[in-house]
Amino acid sequence: MIKNDLFLKALKGETVQRPPVWMMRQAGRYLPEFMAIREKYDFFTRCRTPELASEITVQPIHRYGMDAAILFSDILVIPQAMNIEVEMKPNFGPYLPNPIRTQSDVDRVVVPDVTVELDYVYQAIKATKELLNNEVPLIGFAGSPWTILCYCVQGQGSKTFDKAKEFCFTNPMAAHLLLQKITDTTIAYLKEKVKAGCDVVQIFDSWGGMLSPTDYQTFSWQYINQIIEALKDDAPVIAFAKGCWFALPEMAKSNASALGVDWTCSPENARYLTGGNITLQGNFDPARLLSPPSEIKKMVHQMIDAFGKDKYIVNLGHGILPNIPLDNAKAFIDAVKEYNA
């Protein structure tokens, strides 16, 4: 049994004394212990070495005592497993030297045997579960099919993902075939993650906000929903679509256990749009962690009051930034632990 099950209770909508808290990208560059490992090993070596991935995963838990751990990995391990070359360039980010632009490119993409190609992830989960020793739940994650497509077609990060959108709008048959291949791989991958020990899974739709509401339903949400439907009986599923407040009413009708909200949508509006029945997660502006600790604590308490303590998971509205002072991250976590309704 997991000793601190506050996070799991919130996902079930149970009454809690205080809401649980964790931070997206909590195992990351703001931590000096993470930087020490980063100096010795490149990015994908860290992802592929179970001892390193597990050590990185538990670093923030040991330092701050969040209510959940999230496995150190990357959303782009999926395209790598699908026969798409992905590099992580220092001071640049993801780089795919052979982006997908044609039907024949899509035809070359494989739906892999995830138990073989991504075995290192499952080994990292097992190693992490040992280190966590049932203290807190472990979250596994994947990118949404649309977000993965964005990188596969664009070939790198982008402010607009114009090439990805052009591909979808000029060659929709090829785009939907690619999205389905990514979806099928992601479902198999997440199911194995749960088997290996993940207690919860989260789908990150980082670039959903690039699409219009109509195109979002066509090219993103229908595929996310396939994943939710396939996983709903295996583990709680959190769906986080950045910049997609417009889709919250539709997403709230799904079998997701919780929906992530970014900082551009107020707690009151998020509750209104979702009908008030589903657990919400978010939505502190990551840059607000640059405010003084006393102000952070005050704002966190106001945020909890606005969302309500039940059916709520305290988190940031996106990943923690690398330049956040350690004391400020601590103030964020401590504020939740000190909360009294």
- Residue 143 is labelled as binding a ligand: no
- Residue 44 is labelled as binding a ligand: yes
Q: Which residues contact 180 (CB under 8 A, 6 or more apart)?
A: 145, 223
- Residue 272 is labelled as binding a ligand: no
State the catalytic residue, choosing from 64, 122, 151, 189. Answer: 151
Name the pairing type of β-strands 93-95 and 87-89: antiparallel
CB 161 within 8 A of CB 210: yes
- Residue 67 is labelled as binding a ligand: no
Residue 156's SS3 state is strand
Partner residues linked to 203 by β-bridges:
142, 239
CA distance 265 to 269: 6
State the catalytic residue, choosing from 5, 18, 30, 38. Answer: 38
- Residue 302 is labelled as binding a ligand: no
Please compute, for residue 316, the number of CA atoms within 13 A of its CA located in the half-sphere on the CB side: 21
25 is catalytic: yes
- Residue 27 is labelled as binding a ligand: yes
State the catalytic residue, choosing from 63, 74, 101, 285. Answer: 74
Amino acid identity, position 181: K
- Residue 25 is labelled as binding a ligand: yes
Question: 51-61 b/e with 16+ CB inside 10 Å = b?
Answer: ebbbbbbbbbb
Q: Which residues contact 209 (CB under 8 A, 6 or more apart)?
A: 241, 242, 243, 244
41 is catalytic: no
74 is catalytic: yes
151 is catalytic: yes
Residue 216's SS3 state is helix
- Residue 26 is labelled as binding a ligand: yes
Instruction: Find the helix packing angle between 172-196 and 222-231, rounded to 10°.
Output: 30
Q: Which residues are tagged catalytic?
A: 25, 29, 38, 74, 151
Residues at the binding site for substrate are 25-29, 44, 74, 151, 206, 318
Residues making up the annotated binding site are 25-29, 44, 74, 151, 206, 318
